Amino acid sequence: MAKKEEHHIDPDKIHLLKIEPVEVSIAELDNLVKDEEIDVKMAHLSAYNLEDKKFLLGLDIILKLPEREPIPMSRFRYNFHFKIDNLEMLYSMNEENKPVFKKIFGGTLAGISYSTLRGIIYEKTTQSSWGSLTLPVINPIKIMDTWIELE
Protein backbone atom coordinates (compact mmCIF):
# COMPACT_ATOMS: atom_id res chain seq x y z
CA MET A 1 0.00 0.00 0.00
CA ALA A 2 1.34 3.45 -0.94
CA LYS A 3 2.36 5.80 1.85
CA LYS A 4 0.21 8.94 2.06
CA GLU A 5 2.02 12.10 1.16
CA GLU A 6 2.85 14.23 4.19
CA HIS A 7 0.93 17.22 2.78
CA HIS A 8 -2.10 15.20 1.72
CA ILE A 9 -5.43 17.04 1.94
CA ASP A 10 -7.72 15.10 4.26
CA PRO A 11 -11.34 16.29 3.87
CA ASP A 12 -12.16 15.02 7.37
CA LYS A 13 -9.78 17.63 8.78
CA ILE A 14 -11.41 20.58 7.00
CA HIS A 15 -14.36 22.18 8.79
CA LEU A 16 -16.40 25.04 7.30
CA LEU A 17 -17.40 26.95 10.44
CA LYS A 18 -19.20 29.95 9.04
CA ILE A 19 -20.35 31.55 5.79
CA GLU A 20 -20.36 35.31 6.31
CA PRO A 21 -22.03 37.65 3.83
CA VAL A 22 -19.90 40.80 3.54
CA GLU A 23 -21.74 42.55 0.70
CA VAL A 24 -24.67 41.34 -1.34
CA SER A 25 -26.34 43.59 -3.88
CA ILE A 26 -28.53 42.56 -6.78
CA ALA A 27 -29.33 45.24 -9.34
CA GLU A 28 -32.98 45.42 -10.36
CA LEU A 29 -33.47 45.15 -14.09
CA ASP A 30 -36.30 46.47 -16.25
CA ASN A 31 -36.45 43.18 -18.10
CA LEU A 32 -35.12 39.68 -17.51
CA VAL A 33 -31.68 38.54 -18.58
CA LYS A 34 -32.09 36.27 -21.61
CA ASP A 35 -29.20 35.54 -23.95
CA GLU A 36 -27.05 38.46 -22.90
CA GLU A 37 -23.37 38.34 -22.16
CA ILE A 38 -22.69 38.53 -18.43
CA ASP A 39 -19.28 39.87 -17.47
CA VAL A 40 -18.03 37.96 -14.41
CA LYS A 41 -15.13 39.23 -12.29
CA MET A 42 -13.82 37.35 -9.31
CA ALA A 43 -11.22 37.97 -6.63
CA HIS A 44 -10.24 36.49 -3.31
CA LEU A 45 -8.56 37.38 -0.07
CA SER A 46 -7.23 35.18 2.67
CA ALA A 47 -6.25 35.41 6.30
CA TYR A 48 -5.14 32.88 8.87
CA ASN A 49 -4.56 32.23 12.56
CA LEU A 50 -1.91 29.51 12.82
CA GLU A 51 -2.31 29.08 16.58
CA ASP A 52 -6.07 28.42 16.35
CA LYS A 53 -5.70 26.50 13.06
CA LYS A 54 -8.17 28.81 11.37
CA PHE A 55 -8.20 30.04 7.80
CA LEU A 56 -10.45 32.59 6.11
CA LEU A 57 -11.06 32.66 2.39
CA GLY A 58 -13.08 35.57 1.05
CA LEU A 59 -14.59 35.56 -2.43
CA ASP A 60 -15.91 38.56 -4.30
CA ILE A 61 -17.93 37.97 -7.48
CA ILE A 62 -19.16 40.91 -9.55
CA LEU A 63 -21.64 40.40 -12.38
CA LYS A 64 -22.27 43.06 -15.03
CA LEU A 65 -24.39 43.31 -18.15
CA PRO A 66 -22.11 45.34 -20.47
CA GLU A 67 -24.69 45.60 -23.29
CA ARG A 68 -27.05 47.71 -21.15
CA GLU A 69 -26.90 51.40 -20.27
CA PRO A 70 -26.31 52.16 -17.52
CA ILE A 71 -24.41 48.93 -16.87
CA PRO A 72 -26.19 47.05 -14.06
CA MET A 73 -24.01 45.33 -11.47
CA SER A 74 -24.65 42.67 -8.88
CA ARG A 75 -22.10 41.78 -6.23
CA PHE A 76 -21.68 38.78 -3.96
CA ARG A 77 -18.87 39.05 -1.41
CA TYR A 78 -18.67 36.32 1.21
CA ASN A 79 -16.10 35.16 3.74
CA PHE A 80 -15.71 31.44 4.38
CA HIS A 81 -14.30 30.59 7.81
CA PHE A 82 -12.51 27.26 8.14
CA LYS A 83 -10.84 25.29 10.89
CA ILE A 84 -8.14 22.95 9.63
CA ASP A 85 -7.14 20.21 12.08
CA ASN A 86 -3.76 19.60 10.42
CA LEU A 87 -3.01 23.17 9.29
CA GLU A 88 0.62 22.88 10.46
CA MET A 89 1.22 20.26 7.74
CA LEU A 90 -0.01 22.49 4.93
CA TYR A 91 2.52 25.32 4.93
CA SER A 92 6.22 26.04 5.30
CA MET A 93 7.90 29.18 6.58
CA ASN A 94 9.76 31.45 4.16
CA GLU A 95 12.92 33.51 4.79
CA GLU A 96 10.82 36.26 6.39
CA ASN A 97 9.30 33.72 8.80
CA LYS A 98 5.89 33.98 7.11
CA PRO A 99 3.83 30.92 6.17
CA VAL A 100 3.63 29.87 2.54
CA PHE A 101 0.63 27.61 2.06
CA LYS A 102 0.64 24.68 -0.35
CA LYS A 103 -1.12 25.50 -3.60
CA ILE A 104 -3.26 22.35 -3.36
CA PHE A 105 -4.48 23.51 0.07
CA GLY A 106 -5.50 26.95 -1.22
CA GLY A 107 -7.11 25.35 -4.26
CA THR A 108 -9.08 22.95 -2.08
CA LEU A 109 -10.51 25.74 0.09
CA ALA A 110 -11.17 27.85 -3.03
CA GLY A 111 -13.05 24.93 -4.58
CA ILE A 112 -15.21 24.42 -1.49
CA SER A 113 -15.89 28.16 -1.19
CA TYR A 114 -16.60 28.77 -4.87
CA SER A 115 -18.92 25.77 -5.16
CA THR A 116 -20.83 26.95 -2.12
CA LEU A 117 -21.02 30.51 -3.45
CA ARG A 118 -22.29 29.23 -6.82
CA GLY A 119 -25.24 27.72 -4.97
CA ILE A 120 -25.82 30.89 -2.95
CA ILE A 121 -25.83 33.04 -6.11
CA TYR A 122 -28.18 30.63 -7.87
CA GLU A 123 -30.59 30.76 -4.95
CA LYS A 124 -30.40 34.54 -4.49
CA THR A 125 -30.94 35.29 -8.19
CA THR A 126 -33.79 32.81 -8.67
CA GLN A 127 -36.45 35.29 -7.57
CA SER A 128 -34.67 38.32 -9.08
CA SER A 129 -34.86 39.93 -12.50
CA TRP A 130 -31.51 38.27 -13.29
CA GLY A 131 -33.17 34.85 -13.28
CA SER A 132 -31.48 31.73 -11.90
CA LEU A 133 -27.79 32.33 -12.61
CA THR A 134 -25.53 29.31 -12.75
CA LEU A 135 -21.87 30.27 -12.66
CA PRO A 136 -19.49 28.05 -14.63
CA VAL A 137 -17.40 25.33 -13.06
CA ILE A 138 -13.79 26.52 -12.95
CA ASN A 139 -10.38 25.32 -11.87
CA PRO A 140 -10.19 26.49 -8.23
CA ILE A 141 -6.43 27.00 -8.46
CA LYS A 142 -7.16 29.93 -10.82
CA ILE A 143 -9.09 31.64 -8.02
CA MET A 144 -5.86 31.84 -6.05
CA ASP A 145 -4.36 34.05 -8.79
CA THR A 146 -6.95 36.80 -8.16
CA TRP A 147 -6.76 39.24 -5.25
CA ILE A 148 -9.11 41.68 -3.59
CA GLU A 149 -7.41 44.99 -3.00
CA LEU A 150 -8.33 46.00 0.54
CA GLU A 151 -9.75 49.49 0.74
pLDDT one-digit tens code per residue, 62-94 = 999 999 999 999 999 999 999 999 999 999 999
Model confidence at 140: pLDDT above 90: no
Q: What's the fold here for domain 12-143?
A: Bacterial Protein-export protein SecB (3.10.420)
pTM of the model: 0.88
User: Where do the domains of the chain lie?
Assistant: 12-143
Q: pLDDT tens across 18-32, in order?
A: 999 999 999 999 887
Q: Which of 118, 137, 112 is nearest to 57 (CA)?
A: 112
